[in-house]
Amino acid sequence: MGNPASTFGHALLKLNTDSTDDQFGLFDLTLNYGALVPENENTLVYVVRGLGGGYEAGFSDKYFYTQDMVYSHTEQRDMWEYKLILSDEKRMLLIFHIWEIVGHKFAYYFLDKNCAYRLAELLEFVIDEELLGNVLLWYVPVELFHRLNYIDKVRHESIGKKLIQSVRFIPSTQRKLYHKLNFLTREELDVFKAIIQKGFQLDDLENFSIERKILILENLLAYYEYKLIADKPESIRHKEEIKKQILLARLQLPPRSMPSTKISELPSPANGSPPMEFGFNIAKNSNQDVFLRLNWSPFKKEFIGLNSLEGDELVVFDLTVGMDEDKIFLDQLDLIRVINLNTLPIELEDENQWSWKLRVGADRLEKKGKKYLYDGVASFGGGMRGNGMTIL
């Protein structure tokens, strides 16, 4: 939620070179589409202008490591790389068209003419199937990948060929760090936390073997590398000094190769259900009268189900109407519903420990005569691990 422009995700194009000396493709060229926003723009102004087409936007080409720095290392987002199967001819056609459009300006619309929409337009030059069919007012990035998955499935079933060669999970720096910390014992983790809180002294590690000292120091270096990239400039200097002390201590110990610590891959969000949801059910009111409920939302990522966000929830314009013998009526409306849970496996002092939730909408009350009464809802709750949720 820290970047309103990519609250619903982000999509960019990466041109793989498959270079043998660049295993992770950090020097592959990427094409990114985004709004041209002035520095220090007010968030509310940013959202309003983004919704109304108030910004110019354009494509920019950069090496992938710059995108990796922003999304994996600074915003701490996981990424999924979809490698498409294109002929050499189509690949060259795509590259030539990219060369034509880089530098051109467009009106930016947050809901539809966004990064995913422009990339879908671009890919339709080299993919025969539609990626933008039936787009009305809403085209979120994950929708593009749902459509790529669908095309891949249809191709494979009909002609035995695929569109998607592979999907690679790219974990965030934060996820990598916490995975490494799992290999520390409780005692080692306590020392790790104490060093973060009070600073580093060589005596802190005197009770550990050389192998365990190396492991603790390597984890401390990974932690400060993570913090120095993600933190604000004013808090960096002190951390740089501590990192230097830790690095000097590590250089005094023999070289060791760290054990392989492969992170379990998370499935792509596009493997779950699409973000737009329509449903119906039967319900009873307080008088035990049965009525039909119809529900629709253009974007629903709940904390349960195949499209969950690891316990988090983001739902926009969740509309439920009821139908009884007399009329059709509004049963419930959530303009926005958010749950942001702190699910970090290890508690570190200078990490955000807060969980919070937000709901803005309306609930139906009991009937008064022939009319329904409604209660407007605007609620916010926050809490920290072990302290429960505090409603504000």
pLDDT for the residue numbered 152: 97
pTM of the model: 0.87
Identify whether residues 150 and 292 lie together within a single domain. no
Q: Give the residue-averaged pLDDT of 109-113.
A: 86
Residue 89 structure tokens? 């001819």
Report yes or no on 234 lying in a domain: yes
Q: Are strands 328-340 and 354-368 parallel, antiparallel or unpaired?
A: antiparallel
By the 8 A CB rule, do 37 and 74 touch? Answer: no
Is the domain of 159 the same as that of 293? no
Please report, for residues 22, 73, 106, 233, the alpha-carbon distance to residue 222 in angstroms, rounded to integers and kept in the order given.
21, 12, 41, 18
Same domain flag for 20 and 153: yes
Q: What is the pLDDT of residue 38?
A: 86
In terms of domains, do 164 and 298 share one? no
Q: Tell me the residue range of the domain where 362 lies.
A: 272-391
Is residue 267 a part of any domain in this protein?
no
Residue burial 252-277, b: 16+ Cβ < 10 Å; e: rest: eeeeeeeeeeeeeeeebbbebbebeb
My answer on whether 280 and 340 are in the same domain is yes
Residues 226 and 77 in one domain: no
d(CA 245, CA 168): 36
* Orientation angle between helical segments 186-198 and 210-230, nearest 10 degrees: 50
Domain membership of residue 24 (yes or no) is yes
CA-closest candidate to residue 297, choices 8, 68, 16, 36 = 8
**Do 49 and 131 belong together in one domain?**
yes
Same domain as 281, residue 311:
yes
Q: Reply yes or no on whether the pLDDT at 309 is more than 70.
A: no
Kindly list the strands in the beta sheet with 105-108, ordered across the sheet, starting from the edge strand earlier in the chain.
13-15, 29-35, 55-63, 105-108
Over range 308-317, report the average pLDDT: 79
Band (354; pLDDT cuts 50, 70, 90): confident
Q: Do 203 and 279 belong to one domain? A: no
Q: pLDDT tens digits, residue range 164-210? A: 999 999 999 999 999 999 999 999 999 999 999 998 988 899 999 99
Please check the confidence at residue 390 and state whether its pLDDT lies above 70. Answer: no
Domain count, the chain: 3
- Claim to verify: residue 282 and residue 380 sit in the same structural domain: yes
Same domain, 276 and 228: no
CB 382 within 8 A of CB 350: no
**Which of 216, 251, 286 is at the close of a domain?**
251
Residues 81 and 129 in one domain: yes
Evaluate whether 265 touches 169 at the Cβ level (below 8 Å). yes
Q: What percent of the chain has pLDDT over 70?
A: 93
Lowest mean pLDDT among 119-133, 167-181, 334-348: 334-348
Q: Is residue 177 part of a domain?
A: no
